[in-house]
Structure 1
């Protein structure tokens, strides 16, 4: 009797093993295949690492530079303490632009918490005061996800000069502009219809003001030169839009 029961148990075990093998070896139905595909994660390329920024020379096209008014490489987390953040257009408090120091660079990082939304309004990081008159500002910039970059000179009470470059790939023409902004009114002083800048690579930008002479440089080459005597002195600064993704590094401001 015991032998008969043992034979029955062995037969049942063998049958169960055969049934399991048939289930795993059988082809999957289309529904089962689709369900399995849901668990296949897509291959996502890694985010490109931002390389070190080049030095932006402030003595390009000029005699040996004199007094250094300011230098910033943003290696310290408190490096932004010497700068003043200004929204160049009227925006509500919850849409104010946010600038931060991260990984040794100054980054325009969209708008303040809790919204943190990108915004197309213009913003600037300023340094210096109303006594600054004749000087050159230079910087390296790296555009991760923006479209406008520039430098500001002689900022005072909302009026200033700026050199602005538009990223390649946009239909806006021209792509290099020197403008005077006076109490919100923008006046185009000079422009160059040449290629703008390439994103996701370091470029250098420089803007020099001496008396009524304004000179703009991009990657070491002069792009625009013009004259205007309306604004005499003021702070210097970095310009972009509050879209986010614009990095600045190696800022230098010198007197002739």
Structure 2
């Protein structure tokens, strides 16, 4: 007879859940506490490699337009919020100010995770604007920018390293927070970022047109009207080894 584990120790049922890409199934194994196998030791991770990051090259008012917001991360992150995707944890992924830049340190609860995380700021009423930032990776799988971030989702330009295998190096996507699905809007394999080099990323919105730039050169454009306004910020995987500097948001 199956019973809840927490409800009774007399007729203990051990539930074993196996996850797969298609879903999950649960099998039941009956026994007493004395018959249960000893739990394996908790996994441990080696410390992430440290990196001496060179100063980012200065950029000033790249679009010659009025600024809505700018940050070179000389103070704390009180104006920023963490937005995690696919990570149901009591703690958010960790971002920190280090030496005048912001670094993606690790995933939720101190564990690295190959799952998206963003650090966002600004006004939820912002509609047509552009964001420019400089990114530097010494091991993260992706770097990018997000825009029109709201409770329903956001847009993202995600950039992978030059020559990366298994997919396009630059993509424009829409993330729906209700379905937790990313929808591809545009893609290219023409460019990417180089490991341990600063790269200037750009993302702009005008009406339903979304444009992504890399080192000041337009690389992708798409039309989508799902989200009309929201915050903006920087993006990567919650696996550390990624830093950003010189964020500028303009009208």
User: Which whole-Å deviations, capped at 9, do the CAs of 1:142-200 have from their partners, x for residues lacking one?
Assistant: 10220101100101104111111012353132111001112222111111121321111
TM-score, normalised to structure 1's length?
A: 0.74
Q: Does 1:71 align with 2:74?
A: no
1:167, 1:199 within 8 Å by CA — same for their partners in 2? yes
Distance 2:132 2:163 in 1: 24
Q: How does 1:116-127 map to 2 (within 5 A)?
A: 116-127=110-121
User: Which whole-Å deviations, capped at 9, do the CAs of 1:64-123 have from their partners, x for residues lacking one?
Assistant: 312x111110122x2x111011112232225x310000111100001355xx33111111
Q: Which has the higher helix share?
A: 1
Equivalent in 91, 95, 98 of residue 88 of structure 2: 91
Q: Which runs of 5+ in 2 are unaligned?
A: 1-49
SS in 1 for 2:78: helix
- Which residue of the partner structure matches residue 21 of structure 1? none
Q: Which runs of 5+ in 1 are unaligned?
A: 1-46
What is the total number of aligned residue pairs between the two structures?
201
- Which residue of the partner structure matches residue 251 of structure 1? 247
Relative to structure 1, the CA distance from residue 57 to residue 223 in structure 2 (aligned partners, 3 Å threshold; closer, same or farther) is farther
Distance 2:152 2:121 in 1: 14
2:87, 2:108 within 8 Å by CA — same for their partners in 1? no
2:51, 2:138 within 8 Å by CA — same for their partners in 1? no
Distance 2:140 2:119 in 1: 16
Relative to structure 1, the CA distance from residue 98 to residue 48 in structure 2 (aligned partners, 3 Å threshold; closer, same or farther) is closer
SS in 1 for 2:87: coil
- Which residue of the partner structure matches residue 31 of structure 1? none
1:58, 1:137 within 8 Å by CA — same for their partners in 2? no
1:56, 1:251 within 8 Å by CA — same for their partners in 2? no
- Which residue of the partner structure matches residue 30 of structure 2? none
Distance 2:51 2:80 in 1: 29
SS in 1 for 2:113: coil
Q: Which has the higher strand share?
A: 2
Distance 1:218 1:230 in 2: 24
Relative to structure 1, the CA distance from residue 120 to residue 48 in structure 2 (aligned partners, 3 Å threshold; closer, same or farther) is closer
Q: How does 1:1-256 map to 2 (within 5 A)?
A: 49-56=52-59, 59-60=62-63, 64-66=64-66, 68-76=67-75, 78=76, 80-93=77-90, 96-111=92-107, 116-183=110-177, 184-255=180-251
